[in-house]
Structure 1
Amino acid sequence: MMTNFVKFTKRPLWVAMASALLVQACAIPVIDRKSPDVTLPDTYSTALDNTAVATHGEDSVALPINWADWFNDPYLSELVQTAISNNQEVAILLQRINMAANEVYAREGEYLPRLSAGIAVDTEKVGEFTRDGAVEEQLDIKEGKAFPDPLANLQLGLNASWEIDIWHKLRDASKVASLEYFASIEGQKFFVTQLVAEVSRCYYELLALDNKLANLDSTIQVQQNVIKTISALKQYGRSSSLPIARFTAEVRKNESERFLIEQEIVEKENTLNLLLGRAPQPIDRNSDALLTTDIYTPAVGMPSALLANRSDIKQAELALAAANLNIDVAKANFYPSLELKAGVGLASFDTRYLFNVPESLAYSLSADIFAPLINRRAIEAVYKNASAEQVQAAYEYELTLLRAVAEVSNSLSKLNQLEKSVEAKSLQISSLEESVTVANKLFASAHGEYLEVLLAQREALEARSELIETRQQQMAALVDLYQALGGGWQS
């Protein structure tokens, strides 16, 4: 008879739980999920004329990005290593990685049993005409003994609790934390890539300023020699004071420009020192390297190689995986949670009896199953936010991929065009320098005007300055390509 009663009572319990789960499943809001939809091209739209762009086989992946091959400058290599070691923002990102690792450690502990040990002491005085007071009074009459007043309670023991991870909510949350941890590592790598690129750009801008200063000094020296020549001609009545005044004004103009460039050099050195994480100090460098260094022609591979090389793409991919899994974590909040609780120890109202075993032995065991039924707005909001974050992460992944391909294509095209510009500018300078020589000879032989000499020198100065700027842009484009292909953090 007792067995039939147990069967009768168990059946409605399981039916009720199954019905509750069915109601919960039907009541979960419908959300959106997005899968990235980006088709990468087989090759880049623009490539260097002399660059081997791989199309098949082992060459489908870009060659390993080696800093020494790309930028053959020991001074720059030393600056890059100093920046990676000393930069404060890199150190800050490393601490964020440590915090992400601690979050993984904490999440892993959430689905493990909890065990605590302790001592509890309390005392209580109840009113005589309350239910508890009446019970104590009745005990006094029956037992013929005085009930302790006030009544103490001493407990010594262990308590354990364990939330059974039925729906893998806690395990999935731990995986989300792990993915976010790995994403933070990729984010730190991407920042290092940006830092290396920024240090390189500042370095080449500094070299360009050095060369502009040297160009001005050379032009000023030539113009001062012309002034000496004109002064000598004036003594013989072959010239006047006007050319001297005009050339002297040109020298003063260039000297004024020289002071401004010197100030730019100081500011650029300070900017570079800030990136290096150190106080202002002179920057060791080889200024001639700007115009003499050969441009490295890289094998850029196929756009699909960016998936393996670029840290920002890896970071976006990990963030998308975490967002996908986070939806499952948020969905599990709609389902019932099961928690087991147990306790064992010693309990007594008097220390004299606390260690009287088995009389003072106490234990408890319970299981709690709870599921949200009404007013679930907070759970629904978290679930919908997880959906929105997943869609956002998918779009960000697509955008990162497209941006990466565009950056490589732009850098390749820029390198190609700047190389042609440097060649044309070099030919222009050769012609202008020849015209300066001819103008000086004509003027010295009284067959030319001083204005022709002045104009030829000014045009040559401007052309050399433009060549320096173009060359600096060419090196900056090489840095951009290095960064776009995912280099930098390997250093």
Structure 2
Amino acid sequence: MMTRYKWPVLAALSVTVMVSSCVTKKYERPNLSAQTDKLYRDTTISDTTSIATLPIEQLFSDVELQNLIKEGLQNNLDLKTAMQRINEAYATVQQTKAAFFPSLSGNAQVTRTKTSLASLNFPPEFASSFVLTTTTSQLGLSTSWEADIWGKLSSSKRSALANFFASDAGKRAVQTQLIANIANNYYALLALDKQLAITEQTLKNRINDVETMKALKESAIVNGAAVVQSEANRYAAEVTIPDLKRSIRETENALSILLARTPGSIHRGTLDEQKPYTDMQIGVASQLLKNRPDVQQAEFAFRASFENTNMARTYFYPALTITAQGGVSSLKIKNLFDNSIFYNIIGGLTQPIFAKGENKARLRTAKAQQEEAYYAFQQSILTAGSEVSNALYAYQTAVEKQTSRTHQLEALQKAVDYTKELLRYSSATNYTDVLTSEQSLLSAQLSGVNDKLQQLQAVVNLYRSLGGGWKQ
């Protein structure tokens, strides 16, 4: 008898598998070679070595910065929130796995029914106010199981897994951005410290200039206009100091938030102590697909939407559900377990016939969301390439400016010294020349600080744009 029914059963299973494979499709990564082949502008690189693999201790020489990054990785609230999103996604994965197994529930109930004799069609002489009372006790178990014929449950599980991996990639993206934010704010703080020190020294020099101009006026070398101009020059430097101090405090507060601290001062080094990393190796563009967490997150989101489209297709096909119920029932509780067993098994197919366009709308929505996710995936790759190109070029231009800026500062310092000497001993110049040279010198000094800041932050941004930091 088993042999008689063996081949029909196997044939039916084979047909089911074949039809199921037509309903749902297997995910394949899109071919994005056209985007990645020329992703880095004006660069031809075959070496896979990248600074993205460097630990922070090797990339950042400042011990204070290293400690701040470690503190941020330990305490940052955004990172902790991202961890909870991973836990949520994992719980969803467990839920989709459980859907493959039958559900089981227990129930216990007592039903008390009162029926009048009149409703039972007794003669009028018997159907007075009397009622018939019945009490039924029941204890049982029920189970239900849906067969995954068309792959709906499998697609749901794969979608949940993709969302889980996307959450994990999102957490790593938060981590890389956190490291970059801490480092960039730290360097900005050092740059502000340096600019404040330059401005305060300039203020001291200009206070001395005021006294010098007053002495020269008494000697009839300059007039009163030079004294007034020197005072205005002094106040022009002095008025910028409160703004610099405000920026320093705001940057300290921003860093405190990243570290999950209450607002307060930040222990730090100096800008002059910083030694930018110089070996700017970026690897090949295709490495962004596995190094950039946000690119991975975008791909997993696309994969989840792909599986959601698979799941939407299965709603057009019949669902096979098997339910079973069993237990004991009796009119008397004391006899509940005495030959009062009942059970039933029901297997049924549910085929949608008219669902008010719900299934079609669900599929159209899923397909549209899949296309959106695909475009977001492409956009993430293009954005990553642009960020790498921008950071690398920012580093290169910052280095290129260093020599020119050094020569400019030397020349402007000489110009200030020469014009002051000419003003003291010659009538060939006036204080306007001194004022112009001093303003130019201060501007160049502050710009020199920005050059150093640009170089330091370019290293940080290149490290982040290549996907560095999430392995910490």
Question: Normalising by the residue count of structure 1, what TM-score does the alignment of the two structures yield?
Answer: 0.83
* Matched residue type, 2:415: S
1:365 offset after TM fit, Å? Answer: 1.7
Percent identity among equivalent residues? Answer: 28
1:44 offset after TM fit, Å? Answer: 2.4
CA separation of 1:214 and 1:62: change in aligned 2, threshold 3 A: closer
Give the Cα separation in 2 of the matches to 1:305 and 1:34: 15
Name the SS of the counterpart of 1:334 in structure 2. coil
Unaligned stretches of 5+ in structure 1?
Answer: 1-6, 48-52, 139-147
Which residue in the other structure is 2:61 paired with? 72
Q: 1:87 aligns with which of 57, 76, 81?
A: 76
1:217 offset after TM fit, Å? Answer: 1.4
Give the Cα separation in 1 of the matches to 2:105 and 2:409: 83
Please say if 1:410 is aligned against 2:390: yes
Give the Cα separation in 2 of the matches to 1:365 and 1:236: 117
* Matched residue type, 1:157: G
* Matched residue type, 1:443: L
CA separation of 1:160 and 1:63: change in aligned 2, threshold 3 A: closer
Give the Cα separation in 1 of the matches to 2:144 and 2:134: 29
Give the Cα separation in 1 of the matches to 2:436 and 2:297: 56
CA separation of 1:331 and 1:294: change in aligned 2, threshold 3 A: closer
Name the SS of the counterpart of 1:125 in structure 2. strand
Q: 8 Å contact 1:34–1:390 — kept in the other structure? A: no
Q: 8 Å contact 1:42–1:55 — kept in the other structure? A: no
1:237 offset after TM fit, Å? Answer: 4.2
Q: 8 Å contact 1:230–1:244 — kept in the other structure? A: yes
Name the count of aligned residue pairs. 448
1:187 offset after TM fit, Å? Answer: 0.9
Give the Cα separation in 2 of the matches to 1:178 and 1:226: 71
Q: 8 Å contact 2:276–2:459 — kept in the other structure? A: no
Alignment of 1:356-435 (within 5 A): 356=338, 359-435=339-415
1:220 offset after TM fit, Å? Answer: 1.6
Name the SS of the counterpart of 1:299 in structure 2. coil
1:380 offset after TM fit, Å? Answer: 1.9
Which residue in the other structure is 1:274 paired with? 257
Alignment of 1:105-144 (within 5 A): 105-126=94-115, 128=117, 133=120
Which residue in the other structure is 1:41 paired with? 37
Which residue in the other structure is 1:446 paired with? 426
Give the Cα separation in 1 of the matches to 2:217 and 2:193: 36
1:485 offset after TM fit, Å? Answer: 0.4
Give the Cα separation in 1 of the matches to 2:271 and 2:366: 55
CA separation of 1:338 and 1:247: change in aligned 2, threshold 3 A: same
Name the SS of the counterpart of 2:270 in structure 1. coil
Which residue in the other structure is 2:191 paired with? 208
Q: 8 Å contact 2:146–2:320 — kept in the other structure? A: yes
Give the Cα separation in 1 of the matches to 2:57 and 2:459: 13
Please say if 1:55 is aligned against 2:46: yes
1:418 offset after TM fit, Å? Answer: 2.3
Give the Cα separation in 2 of the matches to 1:129 and 1:382: 54
Q: 8 Å contact 2:190–2:269 — kept in the other structure? A: yes
Which residue in the other structure is 1:253 paired with? 236
CA separation of 1:189 and 1:279: change in aligned 2, threshold 3 A: same
Q: 8 Å contact 2:329–2:340 — kept in the other structure? A: yes
1:229 offset after TM fit, Å? Answer: 3.2
Alpha-carbon displacement from aligned partner over 1:215-267 (angstroms, at most 9, x marks no partner) = 11121222223333334444544444433322122112211111221122112
CA separation of 1:232 and 1:255: change in aligned 2, threshold 3 A: same
* Matched residue type, 1:450: Y
Alpha-carbon displacement from aligned partner over 1:335-386 (angstroms, at most 9, x marks no partner) = 1112222223211111232121xx2122222212211112252222222211
1:306 offset after TM fit, Å? Answer: 0.7
* Matched residue type, 2:437: A
Q: 1:471 aligns with which of 452, 457, 461?
A: 452
Q: 8 Å contact 1:36–1:395 — kept in the other structure? A: no
Alpha-carbon displacement from aligned partner over 1:301-353 (angstroms, at most 9, x marks no partner) = 11011111100111111112222222221111221112222223211111232
Which residue in the other structure is 2:322 paired with? 340
1:60 offset after TM fit, Å? Answer: 6.2
1:55 offset after TM fit, Å? Answer: 0.8
Which residue in the other structure is 2:155 paired with? 172
Give the Cα separation in 2 of the matches to 1:120 and 1:461: 88
Q: 8 Å contact 1:43–1:302 — kept in the other structure? A: no
* Matched residue type, 1:352: K
Which residue in the other structure is 2:462 paired with? 481
1:286 offset after TM fit, Å? Answer: 1.7
1:73 offset after TM fit, Å? Answer: 1.6
* Matched residue type, 1:336: P
Which residue in the other structure is 1:301 paired with? 283
CA separation of 1:482 and 1:209: change in aligned 2, threshold 3 A: same
Please say if 1:351 is aligned against 2:336: no
Please say if 1:459 is aligned against 2:455: no
Name the SS of the counterpart of 1:487 in structure 2. coil
Please say if 1:181 is aligned against 2:164: yes
Please say if 1:326 is aligned against 2:308: yes
* Matched residue type, 1:265: I
Q: 8 Å contact 1:54–1:60 — kept in the other structure? A: no
Which residue in the other structure is 2:127 paired with? none
Q: 2:180 aligns with which of 169, 176, 197?
A: 197
CA separation of 1:398 and 1:25: change in aligned 2, threshold 3 A: closer
CA separation of 1:25 and 1:318: change in aligned 2, threshold 3 A: closer
Name the SS of the counterpart of 1:408 in structure 2. helix
Give the Cα separation in 2 of the matches to 1:333 and 1:376: 13
Give the Cα separation in 1 of the matches to 2:285 and 2:21: 43
Give the Cα separation in 1 of the matches to 2:313 and 2:219: 99
Give the Cα separation in 2 of the matches to 1:72 and 1:62: 15
Q: CA RMSD in A?
A: 3.1
1:42 offset after TM fit, Å? Answer: 5.6
Name the SS of the counterpart of 2:239 in structure 1. helix
1:441 offset after TM fit, Å? Answer: 2.6
Name the SS of the counterpart of 2:54 in structure 1. coil
Name the SS of the counterpart of 2:143 in structure 1. strand
Question: Normalising by the residue count of structure 2, what TM-score does the alignment of the two structures yield?
Answer: 0.86
